[in-house]
Amino acid sequence: MTTIVLFGGPSDERHVSVASAQNIVRALGSPLCWFWAPNGPVHDVAVNDLLGHQRPFEIDFQPARPALWPDLEQALDTLPIDDPVFLLALHGAAGEDGTVQQMMERRSIPFTGSGSAASAAALDKARTKEILGDRVRLAESRVAHDAAELAPSVREMLARHQKIVLKPLAGGSSRGLFFLQRGQQLTMSIDIAYLIEQFITGRELSVGVIDQGDGLFPLPVIEIEVDPGHDFDYASKYLGKGSRETCPADIPDRMRDEAQQAALATHIALACEGYSRSDFVAAEDGIYFLELNTLPGLTTSSLMPQELRAAGIDFREFLERQVELARQRLTV
């Protein structure tokens, strides 16, 4: 069984993907590494080349070796390796919306994380809310599919709520996130679909759910605290500007239990596999679900590795179990 770490891709979250791959490779030692370039070609990357890349959250990775394949489909069709398992270090867009997963399912190639159907449903925030129904508390929201729908949707939501948050309908890593308060002017324009959501005031929590081969269980809750005047955006999450994280969260047991049960319920409802991470806000009237990530960040500063450490689970052990589970799922 040969493990191939696949990272990069066409998403604007490819910087996080590179940092996740670096952390994975440090833990595993010497797996094979494939970089899926933003414009499509696939490169076989030396471990030292990947680990030598500095400031991955800010600077694009440039592989030293030329591409071996013009696109990912051809790379999968001409795999030069017997018995491969792909460890997916992809985030957002085609890497997390089921596109890559479907490519591998069609070819009976094992891969870590959720299947194509669950991945597609989870990355679409509106679809996620439809599936969850009344299983968890949900903030009120509207979808703007284009620029013509954005302004009226924002006006309607601000008439009902003091503050709203605008999120790309399919995306993560806090890219493209905007906050707007009543009385502020909308200055942005969009060329992709956006979710306009009621901003819930409360404590920001995140909970991972993993399967190590003996059933699902939630990881310790992590709390994200944001400094006054800041939002939990990309700079806060990955560049350490204006936020800090506490794991396990210093919260009441009732709040911890509710968040963990909500994370389990969400993972199960969306038919996720392997692992996921759900984000919540703990408001005065309970825990509100925000979103679920089927391939959450695995960088040194990401939330899930912190939760694994708090649970006493070695990162290498977690990765090896995910690879083994991927192989087992293919043979079931």
Classify residue 331 by burial, with Cβ atoms within 10 Å: 0-12, 13-18, 19+.
exposed
The string of pLDDT tens digits covering residues 174-183 is 567 889 999 9
b (16+ CB within 10 A) / e for 9-20: bbbbbbbbbbbb
User: Pairing mode, if any, of strands 84-88 and 42-45?
Assistant: unpaired
Residues 225 and 267 in one domain: yes
Look up the domain containing 60 and give its range.
Answer: 2-111
The predicted structure's pLDDT at residue 317: 97
The DSSP symbol for 119 reads H
Contacts of residue 210, Cβ cutoff 8 Å, sequence gap at least 6: 216, 217, 219, 274, 275, 308, 313, 318
Residues 181 and 272 in one domain: no
- How many whole angstroms separate alpha carbon 85 and alpha carbon 309? 25
Residues 148 and 185 in one domain: yes
Residues 42 and 104 in one domain: yes
Residue 298 domain flag: yes
The predicted structure's pLDDT at residue 229: 63
Residue in the block written with tokens 């599936």: 131
Residue 106 domain flag: yes
Residues 93 and 169 in one domain: no
CATH code at position 49: 3.40.50.20
Residues 100 and 29 in one domain: yes
The predicted structure's pLDDT at residue 149: 92
To the nearest 5 percent, what fractions of the chain are helix, strand and coil?
35, 25, 40
User: Pairing mode, if any, of strands 286-293 and 275-283?
Assistant: antiparallel
The predicted structure's pLDDT at residue 234: 55
Domain total of the chain = 3
Per-residue pLDDT of the chain (332 residues; tens, 9 = 90+): 799 999 999 988 899 999 999 999 999 988 999 999 999 999 999 999 999 999 999 999 999 999 999 999 999 999 988 899 999 999 988 899 999 999 999 999 999 999 999 999 999 999 999 999 889 999 999 999 998 899 999 999 999 999 999 998 886 545 678 899 999 988 888 888 999 999 999 999 999 999 998 899 999 999 999 876 655 555 555 555 667 899 999 999 999 999 999 999 999 999 999 999 999 999 999 999 999 999 999 999 899 999 999 999 999 999 999 999 999 987 65
For 148-304, where are the E strands, in sequence order? Answer: 163-168, 178-181, 194-198, 203-211, 216-218, 222-226, 243-246, 275-283, 286-293
The predicted structure's pLDDT at residue 134: 87
Distances (CA, A) of 174 to 22, 91, 282: 20, 12, 19
Residues 126 and 212 in one domain: yes
Q: Are 28 and 319 in contact (CB under 8 A)?
A: yes
Identity (one letter) of the amino acid at 209?
V
- How many whole angstroms separate alpha carbon 295 and alpha carbon 172? 10
Cα 307 from chain centroid?
15
Residues 128 and 232 in one domain: yes
Residues 193 and 206 in one domain: no
Residues 130 and 271 in one domain: yes
